[in-house]
């Protein structure tokens, strides 16, 4: 499949070699933003002036012969739940509208140090809660491949920005599939790294034990490069792993010969036939490349969605309690403290956020904890056990990323449960803390892209990227 | 402080055979440079909202990173309280309040760092320590306007987040305390231990040590009664008063046919009474769950043992050592006071220099209250003075005068001072003559004294001391007078 836009790897090489300049590359991307952003609404904020200043600095450094980073001059977009110093960070919520963090998230600092040029902050489902980016307080994002359809979510803006050529790569966050599902729906590569591999410092928390930052790119090689820049230990995040970041760019050509690829023997219902057909093609391609296909089962898979909708809202109910109108963000003045809390939060949060705060508060309440939150934690252990058993038989597991291709705007907004089912294949990875990525593998219904999800155990990124690279070659 | 830490003073017993059951929850701020989860300074008394950062303010995206020094101090305290140090976890305690920046407090819950310790009180009373766990402090609210200084009815509130995130250890006793004296002794002893191990400056007046008191009453042997928790008990004196008040209040309720509601009560030190703050029904549901931003705290055994090895001798052991050296009771006030002042090493230095340890204990207690752990007067000079008194070269009164002068001048040779003042103890025959003269002069007093009026002795002794210009030994005079009367 030919890629419509220049890749991160090519842009970085061309700027470093002087074939083009950072300013020139930036202006190409800004021109596309000018042309299509009003239709797509990928961004909450385009940081044109800062981007131009950074690009000029990169060009000046290159001209002066100074060493530059691996992403020097590469335009990137950031999901608007990543703190950027002095630049509005809203989580697409009215409650944080106008809030400017006094610090950068670790991943933002690492991108800056690598020379990346930030073009803007992208739209998301409010506080990353959703699968279509329709839950944004600032309006939905459209899928650049078909603007009548959703880009997926919650990192829909980051996916759309790359798919539309507004940025060469972007960062999203994935709590239950929020990178992989929009990557699949927009025809991109999207990575959910092993929990703890990428720092969460400065990422506005949704569900702390599940959240993980990762890239959207056009190619697997781009994703590998982005991962090497943002990954690795961060002393400011206590859950950050101490292991050094494994090299990913170096393993992409190693192929899959002798690898064992797990196939779900008991595929859940609800997948579009075209999606299943692409899965068959993916298995065949890997087999042709020398891998063997092994049937595995994940008996607890059917409980994962329920467990996720207890664990994630429970943590969210606590993480979002700080938006109380006392110190920052929206405050609705009333006569006294408690009614101020109520009025502020009633006005500041959207319906889905409120729904999850209620769910989570209930799940943690005295008398209900054991039946709900406690049981959900047991499911987390069960799915981890299932994966452990499966990984004795195989090296990676392949599933669809999403049961369907991108669906029309408004299709699922009236029924939250249908929306929740979008993440049936992506959620187990987050519950287990494992690594996974979505790789575009042809098209399905309506000629929309289909993504294949590759799952690997914790810190299995090298294997993950080898398989992803093989799928990319075969697609 | 010294009063509370001295030997038991018996408070009046509860009426009708009631017994109180008391447990204490003491919060202490650890003496770290920075906060429990961030690099902001942990410092009392600075301009409001200057010791803050994104973590302290609970800004979106800010993450806690555990302060290793705070963990070390918590372990020091745990070991000093004979606790087991175990792998531990942190939970979130969720509730809304304006001085709670994240709307949850990070606190240890079902797996605290220190468990199952104890503390010994005078009379071999053993008070169990259930746990001593780490948690973060909240900010501080000041309510402006209104009458009560509380949020209800105030015009507005100011919040200072300097204290938010300051490391605390909460020490929870078992309900082993049976009277207010023990409660005060417990708090005083805990304070001494905190100071000894360097875990906290333990200043109740600055709030770096705060007590919540759980009180219930029962008839001995009966199951525990319903307890009330009393907050705002801000001094050791108040601990005793609040407990005694609360126990009597509960007894009054029960004896008039009422029942005790489980509730949190507020101690009003001015009024000397407690009143309801909130009942169990309107208590928050804290929705505790494991803090996902932190990992298991599992200090390795080697580190724990190196902390144990670095602990100083604790107050109880120092009191026992001082008591053995001086022959005093280890629960006597002088022993408590000297150890609390840290002057036990000094007393021991006096003894090392050949001094009389028992007399040194008395001298140091009486004359060195304003001195620190290392008084300016040379221990060898105090040693000489104790010898002079023991050998009757000076009287006790003269020794006291010499001692005062040594303290006032920051030292001095007691022999020279005695010579300069013309001090010498009179021999017994000279004193006998003076006693004869006094009895003749104060016949009235002598008659009263002989009739059993002990107070009358004062006039006689006074006359003798005056005649001797203070050179007569008071003890000798008293002994002679008693002997004469007995004849």
**Would you list the DSSP string of A51-105?**
HHHHHHHHHHHHHTT----TTTT-EEEEETTB-BTTB---TT-GGGTT---SS--
Chain A residues within 8 A of B151 when measuring between CB atoms: 337
| Contact (Cβ atoms closer than 8 angstroms) between residue B442 and residue B463 | yes
Chain A residues within 8 A of B60 when measuring between CB atoms: 83, 89, 91, 96, 99, 101, 204-205, 322
Catalytic residue selected from A21, A154, A158, A184: A154
From CA A103, how far away is CA A100, in angstroms rounded? 9
Q: Does A126 touch chain B (CB under 8 A)?
A: no
CA A392 → CA A238, A260, A294, A359, B280, distances in Å?
30, 10, 11, 36, 52
In this structure, the dihedral spanned by the alpha carbons of residues B236, B241, B242 and B247, taken in order and rounded to 10 degrees, is 130
> Residue B216: its pLDDT value, please?
97
Q: Which of A202, A322, A364 sits opposite B103 (nearest CB)?
A: A322
The verdict on B33 and B126 lying in the same domain is yes
Which pairing describes strands A75-79 and A117-122: parallel, antiparallel, or unpaired? parallel
User: What residues have CB less than 8 Å from A415, skipping those under 6 apart?
Assistant: none
Which pairing describes strands A435-443 and A189-192: parallel, antiparallel, or unpaired? antiparallel
- Read off the pLDDT band of A137 (50, 70, 90): very high
Q: What is the pLDDT of residues B399-442, one digit of tens each?
A: 999 999 999 998 999 999 988 888 876 777 788 888 888 888 88
Q: Does A359 touch chain B (CB under 8 A)?
A: no
> Residue A262: its pLDDT value, please?
98
Of all helices (H) and strands (E), which one includes residue A437? strand A435-443
The verdict on B155 and B285 lying in the same domain is yes
Chain B residues within 8 A of A239 when measuring between CB atoms: 292-295
Q: Does A65 touch chain B (CB under 8 A)?
A: no
B257 is a domain residue: no
CB contact under 8 A, B103 and A318: yes
Which residue in B287, B291, B295 has the most chain A C-beta atoms within 10 A of its own C-beta, making it the best mutation to test that interface? B287
CB contact under 8 A, A205 and B61: yes
From CA B415, how far away is CA B409, in angstroms rounded? 15
The verdict on B391 and B327 lying in the same domain is yes
Which residue pairs from A340-348 have beta carbons closer than 8 angstroms and sit at least 24 positions apart in sequence? A341/B96, A344/A95, A345/A95, A347/A94, A348/A93, A348/A94, A348/A95, A348/A323
Please check the confidence at residue A294 and state whether its pLDDT lies above 50. Answer: yes
> Residue B405: its pLDDT value, please?
93
- Read off the pLDDT band of B304 (50, 70, 90): very high
User: Does the annotation count A414 as an active-site position?
Assistant: no
Average pLDDT over residues B190-211: 94
Please check the confidence at residue A261 and state whether its pLDDT lies above 50. Answer: yes
CA distance B155 to chain A (A): 9
| Contact (Cβ atoms closer than 8 angstroms) between residue A193 and residue A214 | yes
The verdict on B93 and B195 lying in the same domain is yes
Q: Give the residue among B102, B134, B131, B101 at the shortest CA–CA distance from B116.
A: B131
B220 is a domain residue: no
Q: Give the residue among A368, A382, A359, A362 at the shortest CA–CA distance from A304.
A: A382
User: What residues have CB less than 8 Å from B263, skipping those under 6 apart?
Assistant: B228, B229, B276, B277, B278, B279, B280
B9 is a domain residue: no
Q: What is the pLDDT of residues A187-228, one digit of tens each?
A: 999 999 999 999 999 999 999 999 999 999 999 999 999 999
From CA B438, how far away is CA B422, in angstroms rounded? 23
**B residues 122..161 contacting A (CB < 8 A):** 151, 157, 159
- Read off the pLDDT band of B10 (50, 70, 90): very low
Q: At the top level of CATH, which class does the domain A8-230 belong to?
A: alpha beta
Q: Which residue has the higher pLDDT, A4 or B108?
A: B108
CB contact under 8 A, A318 and B295: no
Residue of B nearest to A364 (CA): B287
> Residue B4: its pLDDT value, please?
40
- Read off the pLDDT band of A3 (50, 70, 90): low
Judge if ipTM > 0.90.
Answer: yes
Q: Which of A99, A235, A365 sits opposite B285 (nearest CB)?
A: A365
Cis before B38? omega within 30: no
Q: What is the pLDDT of residues A307-340, one digit of tens each?
A: 999 999 999 999 999 999 999 999 999 988 899 9
CA distance A315 to chain B (A): 8
The verdict on B449 and B357 lying in the same domain is no
At A398, is the secondary structure helix, strand, or coil?
Answer: strand
| Domain boundary pick from B309, B324, B358 | B309
**B residues 380..409 contacting A (CB < 8 A):** none
CB atoms within 10 A of CB A208: 21
Please check the confidence at residue B147 and state whether its pLDDT lies above 80. Answer: no
Average pLDDT over residues A391-416: 96
CA atoms within 13 A on the CB side of A160: 35
The verdict on B375 and B343 lying in the same domain is yes
Burial degree of A161 (CB within 10 A; 0-12, 13-18, 19+)? buried
> Residue B121: its pLDDT value, please?
95
CB contact under 8 A, B103 and A102: no
Which residue in B61, B68, B285 has the most chain A C-beta atoms within 10 A of its own C-beta, making it the best mutation to test that interface? B61
Please check the confidence at residue A357 and state whether its pLDDT lies above 50. Answer: yes
Q: What is the pLDDT of residues A62-87, one digit of tens each?
A: 999 999 999 999 999 999 999 999 99
Q: What is the pLDDT of residues B28-57, one digit of tens each?
A: 999 999 999 999 999 999 999 999 999 999
Q: Read off the CATH number of the domain in which B482 is found.
A: 1.10.10
Residue of B nearest to A325 (CA): B98
CB contact under 8 A, A315 and B61: no
**B residues 15..54 contacting A (CB < 8 A):** 54
Catalytic residue selected from A21, A93, A132, A178: A178
User: Does the annotation count A142 as an active-site position?
Assistant: no
From CA B17, how far away is CA A55, in angstroms rounded? 85
What's the number of domains chain B is made of?
A: 3
The verdict on B441 and B462 lying in the same domain is yes
Q: Give the residue among B212, B228, B180, B175 at the shortest CA–CA distance from B28.
A: B212
CB contact under 8 A, B61 and A322: no
Q: Which of A101, A238, A327 sits opposite B64 (nearest CB)?
A: A238
Chain centre to alpha carbon of residue B154: 36
Burial degree of B379 (CB within 10 A; 0-12, 13-18, 19+)? buried
Q: To the nearest whole percent, how much of chain B has pLDDT over 90?
A: 72
Q: What is the pLDDT of residues B231-280, one digit of tens each?
A: 989 999 999 999 999 999 999 999 999 999 999 999 999 999 999 988 87
From CA A418, how far away is CA B330, in angstroms rounded? 75
Which residue in A337, A361, A381 has the most chain B C-beta atoms within 10 A of its own C-beta, making it the best mutation to test that interface? A337
The verdict on B180 and B119 lying in the same domain is yes
From CA B16, how far away is CA A377, in angstroms rounded? 52
From CA B162, how far away is CA B176, in angstroms rounded? 35
Chain B residues within 8 A of A83 when measuring between CB atoms: 60-61
The verdict on B347 and B207 lying in the same domain is no
CA B283 → CA A213, B98, B264, B279, distances in Å?
38, 17, 9, 6
Chain A residues within 8 A of B64 when measuring between CB atoms: 238
From CA B23, how far away is CA B176, in angstroms rounded? 7
From CA A307, how far away is CA B257, in angstroms rounded? 50
State the residue range of the domain holding B410: 315-421
Q: Which of A99, A200, A364 sits opposite B289 (nearest CB)?
A: A364
From CA B276, how far away is CA B295, in angstroms rounded? 39
User: Does the annotation count A79 as an active-site position?
Assistant: yes
Chain A residues within 8 A of B40 when measuring between CB atoms: none
Average pLDDT over residues B377-389: 94
| Contact (Cβ atoms closer than 8 angstroms) between residue A263 and residue A452 | no
The verdict on B191 and B107 lying in the same domain is yes
| Domain boundary pick from B385, B406, B421 | B421
CB contact under 8 A, A322 and B101: yes
From CA B271, how far away is CA B276, in angstroms rounded? 14
> Residue A283: its pLDDT value, please?
98
Please check the confidence at residue B7 and state whether its pLDDT lies above 70. Answer: no
Q: Give the residue among B39, B107, B294, B75 at the shortest CA–CA distance from B199.
A: B75
| Contact (Cβ atoms closer than 8 angstroms) between residue B31 and residue B199 | yes
Please check the confidence at residue B165 and state whether its pLDDT lies above 50. Answer: yes
CB contact under 8 A, B94 and A91: no
Q: Where are the domains of chain A?
A: 8-230
Mean pLDDT of chain A: 96
Q: Which of A203, A315, A337 sits opposite B98 (nearest CB)?
A: A337
CB contact under 8 A, B65 and A96: no
Chain A residues within 8 A of B104 when measuring between CB atoms: 318, 321
> Residue B381: its pLDDT value, please?
94
What residues are paired with A127 via a beta bridge? none
Q: What is the pLDDT of residues B312-330, one digit of tens each?
A: 999 999 999 999 999 999 9
Residue of B nearest to A209 (CA): B292
Q: What does the H/E/C string look like for A457-472?
A: CCCCHHHHHHHHHHHH
From CA A31, how far away is CA A463, in angstroms rounded? 38
> Residue B278: its pLDDT value, please?
86
CB contact under 8 A, A238 and B293: yes
CB contact under 8 A, A239 and B295: yes
> Residue B8: its pLDDT value, please?
39
Mean pLDDT of chain B: 91
CB contact under 8 A, B96 and A318: no
The verdict on B130 and B195 lying in the same domain is yes
> What is the sign, positive or negative, of the torsion defined by CA atoms of B306, B310, B314, B317?
positive
**Would you list the DSSP string of A319-374?**
HGGG-SSSSSS-----SSHHHHHHHHHHHHS-HHHHHHHHHHHHHHSTTTTIIIII
The verdict on B299 and B394 lying in the same domain is no
> How does DSSP classify residue A236?
T
């Amino acid at each position: 499949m030919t890629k419509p836009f220049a890749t991160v790897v090519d842009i970085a090489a061309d700027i470093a070699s002087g074939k083009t300049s950072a300013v020139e590359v930036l202006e190409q991307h800004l021109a596309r933003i000018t042309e299509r952003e009003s239709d797509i609404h990928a961004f909450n904020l385009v940081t044109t002036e800062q981007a131009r200043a950074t690009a000029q600095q990169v060009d000046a450094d290159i001209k002066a012969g100074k060493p530059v980073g691996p992403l020097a001059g590469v335009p990137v977009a950031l999901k608007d739940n990543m703190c950027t110093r002095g630049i509005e960070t809203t989580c697409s919520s009215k409650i944080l509208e106008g809030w400017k963090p006094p610090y950068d998230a670790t991943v933002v600092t690492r991108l800056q140090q690598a020379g990346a040029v930030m073009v803007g902050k992208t739209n998301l489902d409010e506080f990353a809660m959703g699968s279509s980016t329709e839950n944004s307080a600032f309006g939905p994002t459209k899928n650049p491949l078909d603007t009548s359809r959703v880009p997926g979510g919650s990192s829909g803006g980051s996916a759309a920005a790359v798919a539309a050529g507004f940025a060469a790569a972007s960062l999203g966050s994935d709590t239950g599939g929020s990178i992989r599902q929009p990557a699949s729906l927009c025809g991109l590569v999207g990575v959910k790294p092993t929990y703890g591999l990428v720092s969460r410092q400065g990422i506005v928390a949704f569900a702390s034990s599940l959240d993980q930052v990762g890239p959207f790119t056009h190619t697997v090689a781009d994703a590998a490069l982005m991962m090497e820049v943002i990954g690795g230990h961060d002393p400011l995040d206590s859950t950050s792993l101490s292991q050094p970041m494994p090299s990913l760019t170096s393993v992409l050509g190693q192929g899959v010969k002798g690898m064992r690829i797990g196939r779900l023997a008991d595929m859940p219902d609800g997948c579009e036939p075209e999606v299943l057909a692409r899965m068959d093609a993916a298995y065949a391609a890997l087999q042709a490349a020398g891998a063997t296909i092994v049937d595995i089962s994940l008996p607890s898979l059917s409980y994962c969605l329920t467990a996720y909708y207890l664990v994630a809202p429970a943590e969210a109910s606590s993480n979002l309690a700080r938006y109380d109108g006392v110190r920052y963000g929206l405050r609705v003045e009333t006569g006294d403290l408690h009614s101020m809390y109520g009025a502020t939060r009633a006005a500041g949060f959207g319906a889905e956020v409120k729904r999850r705060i209620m769910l989570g508060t209930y799940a943690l309440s005295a008398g209900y904890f054991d039946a709900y939150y406690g049981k959900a934690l047991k499911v987390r252990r069960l799915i981890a056990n299932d994966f452990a058993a499966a990984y004795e038989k195989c090296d990676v597991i392949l599933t669809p990323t999403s049961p369907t291709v991108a669906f029309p705007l408004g299709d699922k907004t009236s029924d939250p449960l249908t929306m929740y089912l979008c993440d049936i294949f992506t959620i187990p990875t987050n519950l287990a803390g494992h690594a996974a990525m979505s790789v575009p593998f042809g098209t399905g219904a309506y000629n929309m892209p289909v993504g294949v999800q590759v799952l690997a155990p914790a810190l299995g990124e090298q294997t993950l990227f080898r398989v992803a690279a093989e799928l990319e070659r075969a697609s | 402080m010294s009063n509370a830490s001295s030997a038991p003073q018996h408070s009046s017993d509860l009426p009708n055979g009631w017994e109180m059951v008391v447990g204490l929850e003491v919060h202490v701020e650890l003496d770290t440079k920075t906060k429990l989860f961030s690099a902001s300074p942990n410092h009392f008394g600075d301009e409001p909202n200057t010791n803050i950062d994104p973590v302290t303010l609970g800004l979106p995206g800010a993450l806690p990173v555990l302060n290793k020094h705070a963990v070390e101090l918590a372990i020091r305290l745990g070991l000093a309280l004979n606790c087991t140090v175990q792998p531990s976890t942190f939970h979130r305690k969720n509730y809304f309040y304006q001085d709670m920046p994240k709307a949850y407090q990070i606190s240890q819950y079902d797996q605290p760092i220190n468990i199952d310790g104890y503390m010994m009180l005078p009379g071999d009373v053993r008070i169990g320590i259930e746990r001593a766990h780490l948690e973060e402090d909240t900010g501080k609210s000041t309510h402006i306007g209104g009458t009560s200084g509380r949020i209800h009815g105030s015009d507005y509130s100011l919040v200072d987040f300097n204290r938010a995130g300051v490391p605390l250890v909460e020490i929870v006793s078992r309900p082993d305390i049976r009277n207010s004296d023990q409660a005060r002794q417990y708090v005083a002893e805990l304070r001494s231990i905190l100071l000894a191990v360097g875990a906290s400056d333990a200043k109740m007046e600055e709030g770096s040590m705060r007590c919540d008191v759980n009180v219930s009453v029962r008839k001995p042997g009966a199951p525990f009664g319903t307890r009330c928790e009393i907050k705002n008990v801000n001094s050791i004196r108040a601990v005793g008063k609040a407990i005694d008040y609360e126990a009597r209040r509960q007894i009054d309720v029960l004896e008039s046919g009422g029942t005790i509601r489980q509730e949190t009560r507020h101690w009003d030190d001015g009024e000397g009474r407690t009143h309801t703050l909130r009942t169990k029904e309107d208590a928050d549901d804290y929705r505790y769950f494991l803090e996902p931003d932190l990992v298991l705290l599992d200090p390795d055994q080697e580190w724990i043992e190196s902390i144990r090895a670095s602990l100083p001798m604790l107050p109880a052991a120092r009191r026992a050592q001082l008591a053995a050296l001086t022959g005093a009771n280890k629960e006597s006030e002088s022993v408590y006071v000297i150890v609390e002042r840290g002057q036990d090493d000094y007393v021991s230095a006096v003894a090392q220099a050949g001094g009389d340890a028992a007399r040194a204990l008395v001298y140091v207690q009486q004359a060195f209250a304003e001195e620190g752990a290392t008084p300016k007067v040379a221990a060898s000079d105090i040693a000489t003075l104790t010898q002079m008194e023991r050998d009757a070269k000076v009287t006790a009164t003269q020794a006291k005068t010499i001692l005062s002068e040594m303290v006032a001048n920051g030292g001095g040779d007691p022999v020279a001072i005695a010579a300069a003042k013309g001090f010498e103890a009179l021999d017994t025959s000279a004193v006998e003559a003076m006693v004869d003269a006094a009895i003749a002069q104060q016949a009235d007093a002598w008659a009263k004294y002989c009739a059993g009026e002990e107070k009358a002795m004062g006039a006689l002794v006074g006359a003798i001391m005056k005649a001797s210009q203070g050179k007569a030994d008071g003890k000798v005079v008293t002994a002679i007078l008693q002997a004469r009367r007995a004849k």
